[in-house]
Amino acid sequence: MRSRTVQPIRRQGKKTGRGKNRKSPHNFGDTQPMKPIREEDRPDLSDTQPIYPAGIMAGYREYQRAVDRRRQVIKTPKPAAERRAPRRTKAQRIRDAGAIRRAFGKSVSKGEYFDFDMLCVIIFLMCFGLVMLYSASAYEAQVDVQLQDDMYYFSKQALIGAVGVVVMFLVSRLDYHVYGAYAFEIFVISMILMALVRTPLGVTLNGARRWIGLPGNLTLQPAEVTKIAVILFISYELCRLGKRAVTSEGIMRVLAFGAIAAGGVLFLTDNLSTAIIVMAITCILIFVIHPKTKPFLIIIGAAAAAAAVIIAVLAFVAADSDNFRIQRIISWLNPEATAEDGSFQVLQGLYAIGSGGFFGKGLGNSTQKLGVIPEAQNDMILVVICEELGVFGAIIILILFGLLLYRLMFIAKNAPDLYGSLIATGIFAHIALQVVFNVAVVTGLFPTTGITLPFVSYGGTAILFLMAEMGIALGISRRIKLEGD
């Protein structure tokens, strides 16, 4: 049976094939009759490969390429675990990520999803936080010699909140892949900003040096920038590593970056609570992509046991230490013994929660905020909520945070790719950790730390970058495709 791919060579003056003188990619023209070769002149080809006419092989290769194109044969790439990601230039990184495609495009087009539920929760939390901030800070602003304006904290927070809303909408219209192209640079910038705290640009407030002075009597807290930087960079690094991210080498690499960021927060800005949150975000992102759960449970159990042993040892050995962190732990273990200094704030907060009852004393009727609880508008603002609105008000605020976390979890689950899912997970971890830590400190479950309540506590840098994070999450939600569109 003749081959359907290679036609027989025609002899001069003969008609072969289907049709007269039919042109074919395998028709190589007429040839002259070949003269017979004597047996003694034939070369010895017993140890060589068969030799075909060049034209026939060229036609066969062309035929194979056509078949491959028709069947769309794609070579299987080398597994990600066996290859190293090449170092890409900035232009390649932006192009590969589709960094500027659809940036600042139409708001919501047909077939795209936008999480309006999450937007409503954010706006409600912002408004509720402003009301409670005014209630908690009006008296202190009046008695402050430098301020003497009961609207000082409220007006400043409202202005920064309005700017934050604008930033949120602008960020939400950006393609979130652009953050992956610049994730490492954002990480480095956050470290540089924290290093500037140790320079003459650093500002000390209430005995802590954690801010950078800005024009217009404004300050910037670099630790808040580091939280976003870690979320964006660790998520990008886990995606870049691929399957190697769950190996020992990949996990150690990611943990090293998280430890560098946490160490910078601790040693450059002297902020232990934020350093713990930064490291916890890194561990949570690793946990999310790892296929196994048991090793993490073992590590958590071992860490809890080690922390209990260390705290017990410190309570006996370092009871007279001058370190304020050790004194906080000792005050937490025995609050009645240090009711006049170390545990004063926590005990007064518990008194306020108890006096509020279930429905509270009424908005604006708190007595503990009248100079008894220091800085009530910051870390202890939940105490004022419980005293004025009761346990019912605290339940409402926790339900709102639960709805926000649910929407973030929904976005993480339905994100169009792994990078978007990890970013949403990192934001979820950040909000959840801050809420849990703040509630635990207020109720005396954790030692006193400087963790604020998101969207409610006073803090310009915190609210601005929180709104930026919400913008990133809303930007990811824009890329979710609706079924049937």
What are the residue ranges of helices labelled H in 318-417? 324-333, 344-356, 381-414
Distance between CA atoms of residues 286 and 296, nearest Å = 10
Are the CB atoms for 137 and 157 separated by under 8 Å?
no
Could you give the C-alpha distances from 277 to 7, 284, 314, 419, in angstroms and in order? 73, 10, 23, 21
Q: What is the pLDDT of residue 349?
A: 84
Helix (H, G, I), strand (E, B) or coil at 475: helix
Q: Which of 88, 91, 30, 157 is nearest to 460 (CA)?
A: 157
Residue 137 one-letter amino acid: S
Distance between CA atoms of residues 139 and 232, nearest Å = 40
Handedness of CA 241, 247, 251, 252 (dihedral sign): negative
Tokens 């390649």 appear where?
92
Burial of 418 per CB tally in 10 Å (0-12, 13-18, 19+): middle
Q: What is the pLDDT of residue 25?
A: 45
Task: Please give the chain's pLDDT, 485 residues, in tens.
Answer: 444 444 444 444 444 444 444 444 444 444 555 555 566 665 555 554 444 455 555 555 666 666 566 554 444 455 544 455 555 565 555 544 444 344 434 444 445 678 888 999 999 999 999 999 988 887 776 666 566 677 888 888 999 999 999 999 999 998 888 998 899 999 999 999 999 999 888 888 777 788 888 887 788 889 999 999 999 999 999 998 888 888 889 999 999 999 999 999 999 988 888 999 999 999 999 999 988 888 888 988 998 898 888 887 877 776 667 777 777 887 787 777 777 777 778 888 888 888 888 888 888 888 888 777 877 888 888 999 999 999 999 999 999 999 999 999 999 998 888 999 999 999 999 999 999 999 998 888 888 887 889 999 888 888 999 999 999 999 999 888 776 54
Tokens 């202005």 appear where?
159
Could you give the C-alpha distances from 440 to 154, 217, 404, in angstroms and in order? 26, 33, 19
Helix (H, G, I), strand (E, B) or coil at 481: strand
Q: Which of 280, 279, 281 is nearest to 264 (CA)?
A: 279
Q: What is the pLDDT of residue 484?
A: 55
Q: Put the strands of the sheet holding 218-220 in their side by side order.
A: 202-205, 208-214, 218-220
Strand partners, 209: 204
Helix (H, G, I), strand (E, B) or coil at 218: strand
Q: Which of 35, 24, 27, 34 is nearest to 10 (CA)?
A: 27
What are the residue ranges of helices labelled H in 197-318? 222-241, 248-269, 272-289, 294-317
DSSP 8-class letter at 107: S
Helix (H, G, I), strand (E, B) or coil at 208: strand
Instruction: Give the burial string for 244-268 (b: 16+ CB within 10 Å, else e).
Output: bbbeeebbeebbebbeebbebbbeb
Distance between CA atoms of residues 423 and 81, nearest Å = 23
Q: How many residues does the chain have?
A: 485
Q: What is the pLDDT of residue 49?
A: 47
Tokens found for residue 228:
């976003």
List Cβ neighbours of 119 (8 Å cut-off, separation of 6 or more).
474
Are the CB atoms for 467 and 164 separated by under 8 Å?
yes
DSSP 8-class letter at 415: -
Residue 143 one-letter amino acid: V
Helix (H, G, I), strand (E, B) or coil at 212: strand
Are the CB atoms for 390 and 358 separated by under 8 Å?
yes
